[in-house]
Amino acid sequence: MLPYLDGFSIVEQLRKSSNDVPVILLTEKHTVEEKIEGLELGADDYVTKPFSTKELLARVKCQLRRSEKRGTEHATPPIVAGSVTISPKIREVHCNGNDSDLIPLTKTEFDLLYYLAKKRKEVCTHAELLQNVMGYSSDIKTKSLVIHIANIRRKLNDSGVDDVQIKAVTGVGYRLIAPA
């Protein structure tokens, strides 16, 4: 038993934000109608109590295999922006096409740089970056975005990258400028 929400509500909320997380409902609800409801809400599998630990483990392994297959089917190729290569699959940023020239970024810094690179030359608004990359409400007032952008700029500069710039568009947001 969950204290404030039931599993169905959690699955429903999870599917609104992400469709690629495997979900196995483990529940006492065992009628056919309840199973159908859980699966239609987005659960990938449905296990009722009492259950076999070995069976549950096999089902988890099965979902992980499927998840890995989906990940490779939709593998995103690296983005090259000037002298910077952004590899989303391994979450690394390198400069000068050299694997040994790793630019150390935090998770949020990587996500911001990747998002800006995908939308290269477009202006990404503060609200868009806060909401789509950092997971904040678009109306929140925070200096966090400004600090992360400053850190990315510093790390690119420290790595000798001079052909990639994150330009501020006053009162609007940021855009990444780099040769193709």
Which pairs with CB-CB distance under 8 Å and at least 24 residues apart come from 176-179? 176/81, 176/113, 176/116, 176/117, 176/119, 176/120, 176/121, 177/120, 177/121, 178/81, 178/82, 178/84, 178/117, 178/120, 179/81, 179/82
Residues 94 and 120 in one domain: yes
Question: By C-alpha distance, which of 108, 21, 95, 160 is closest to 87?
Answer: 95
Residues 47 and 14 in one domain: yes
- pLDDT for 70 equals 58
Residues 102 and 146 in one domain: yes
- pLDDT for 72 equals 52
- From 53, 73, 93, the end of a domain falls on 73
- pLDDT for 63 equals 84
Residues 165 and 92 in one domain: yes
State the angle between helix axes of 7-17 and 32-41 in degrees (0 to 180), rounded to the nearest 10.
Answer: 20
pLDDT in tens, the chain (180 residues): 677 788 888 888 888 777 778 889 999 998 999 988 888 888 888 999 999 999 889 888 888 887 776 555 456 889 999 999 999 989 999 998 777 799 999 999 999 999 999 999 899 999 999 988 888 876 677 788 999 999 999 999 999 999 999 999 999 999 999 987
- pLDDT for 175 equals 97
Task: Write out the residue range of the structural domain in which residue 125 sits.
Answer: 79-177
- pLDDT for 42 equals 86
Residues 138 and 166 in one domain: yes
Residues 49 and 31 in one domain: yes
Please indicate, yes or no, if residue 84 is contained in any of the structural domains. Answer: yes
- From 73, 88, 114, the end of a domain falls on 73
- pLDDT for 75 equals 62
Please indicate, yes or no, if residue 1 is contained in any of the structural domains. Answer: no
- pLDDT for 12 equals 85
- From 73, 90, 114, the end of a domain falls on 73
Residues 83 and 145 in one domain: yes
Please indicate, yes or no, if residue 152 is contained in any of the structural domains. Answer: yes
Residues 83 and 120 in one domain: yes
